């Protein structure tokens, strides 16, 4: 897809970790669904599991009980799994995928344990994936934004540096701790229309996968996601048709997005608009 020398793609000799967590960072479950898609599509195998007893309040994230085909009952505990994959591509590149639930406690220890595994795997770049509720219309491409604190990455990929100050989620903590260890961090977000923010959000998941494909330079088979995104959009259209207030709101959002998408709109203006999206959310997360 992209050559090793493509300046807009992470090199094939770079070890990459991609992370997403359910909870505060995951509007519409778009980010966690993107990681699930990669784990399944790339046949990732479990590398390590973090001890849920250390990091989760089970009254907040309760375990589930179910029955196996054998008839035995089993309890599944919330937690975080780190998987690795060689993917379907021809090179010998490996990727690490971290999929879990935002912890209830001991965030620094949680981030440190993940990054210890990253060190064992020789990870040089961490990509964190999140989703947040924004004022954006479902009828347009969902807004995505990628930032980095790494000066070389900003120059190489033409990225902005986030100027958000305020409450953050586990993605912000993990990214900060990774930077302190010398790991390049790319922070990737997709905006989910607030009026259809309930999961699933396949259009948001597709937007994140598109950005990931762009940066890692490896093919991502979307499987049934395009059909699911079409069904999601039809459902949002029906909501708009049935509710005049929602319809008027969507129209206003379309006009705003179309205005900021004009050719004369600068990248700085679009970045500023997305920063406003972040701040409109009560206690918006750190990108």
Q: Please write the tens of the pLDDT for every residue from 112-137.
A: 999 999 999 999 999 999 999 988 88
Q: What is the pLDDT of residue 238?
A: 85
Q: How confident is the model at residue 274 (pLDDT cuts 50, 70, 90)?
A: low
Q: What is the pLDDT of residue 275?
A: 53
pTM of the model: 0.84
Q: Is the peptide bond before 200 cis (omega within 30 degrees of 0)?
A: yes
Q: What is the pLDDT of residue 178?
A: 97
Q: What percent of the chain has pLDDT over 70?
A: 86
C-alpha to C-alpha distances, 54 to 6, 118, 119, 137, nearest whole angstrom: 42, 19, 21, 40
Tally of CB atoms within 10 A around 136: 24
Q: How confident is the model at residue 284 (pLDDT cuts 50, 70, 90)?
A: very low
Instruction: Please check the confidence at residue 262 and state whether its pLDDT lies above 60.
Output: no
145 by DSSP, 3-state: which? strand
Two tokens, residue 36 = 């699930």
Residue 185 bridge partners (DSSP)? 126
- From 92-106, 134-148, 209-223, 249-263, the region with the lowest mean pLDDT: 249-263
Instruction: Please check the confidence at residue 75 and state whether its pLDDT lies above 80.
Output: yes
- Domain coordinates in residue numbering, the chain: 16-280
What is the second-level CATH architecture of the domain 16-280? Answer: 3-Layer(aba) Sandwich (3.40)
Instruction: Please check the confidence at residue 7 and state whether its pLDDT lies above 60.
Output: no
Q: How far apart are CA 145 and CA 207, in angstroms?
A: 10
Instruction: Please check the confidence at residue 269 and state whether its pLDDT lies above 80.
Output: no
Q: Where are the alpha helices (DSSP H) in the chain?
A: 30-41, 52-55, 107-120, 151-157, 170-180, 202-216, 225-242, 244-260, 267-280
Instruction: Please check the confidence at residue 283 and state whether its pLDDT lies above 70.
Output: no
């Amino acid at each position: 897809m992209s050559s090793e020398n493509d300046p807009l793609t992470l090199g094939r000799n770079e070890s990459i970790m991609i992370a997403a967590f359910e909870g505060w960072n995951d509007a519409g479950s778009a980010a966690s669904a993107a990681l699930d898609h990669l784990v399944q599509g790339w046949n990732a195998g479990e590398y390590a599991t973090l001890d849920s007893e250390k990091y989760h309040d089970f009254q907040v994230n309760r375990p589930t009980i179910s029955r196996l085909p054998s008839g035995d009952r089993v309890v599944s505990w919330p937690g975080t799994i780190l998987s690795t994959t060689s993917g379907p591509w021809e090179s010998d590149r490996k990727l690490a995928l971290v999929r879990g639930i935002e912890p209830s406690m001991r965030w620094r220890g949680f981030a440190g344990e993940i990054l210890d595994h990253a060190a064992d795997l020789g990870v040089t770049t961490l990509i964190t994936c999140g989703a947040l509720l924004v004022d954006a219309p479902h009828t347009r491409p969902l807004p995505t934004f990628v930032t980095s604190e790494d000066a070389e990455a900003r120059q190489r990929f033409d990225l902005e540096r986030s100027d958000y100050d305020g409450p953050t989620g586990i993605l912000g903590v993990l990214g900060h701790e990774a930077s302190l260890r010398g790991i390049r961090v790319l922070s990737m977000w997709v905006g989910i229309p607030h009026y259809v923010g309930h999961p699933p959000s396949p259009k948001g998941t597709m937007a994140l996968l598109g950005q990931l494909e762009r940066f890692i330079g490896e093919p991502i088979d979307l499987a049934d996601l395009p059909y699911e995104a079409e069904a999601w959009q039809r459902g949002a259209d029906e909501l708009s048709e049935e509710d005049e207030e929602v319809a008027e709101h969507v129209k206003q959002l379309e006009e705003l997005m179309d205005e900021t998408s004009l050719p004369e709109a600068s990248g700085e203006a679009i970045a500023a608009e997305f920063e406003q999206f972040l701040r409109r959310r009560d206690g918006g997360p750190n990108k």
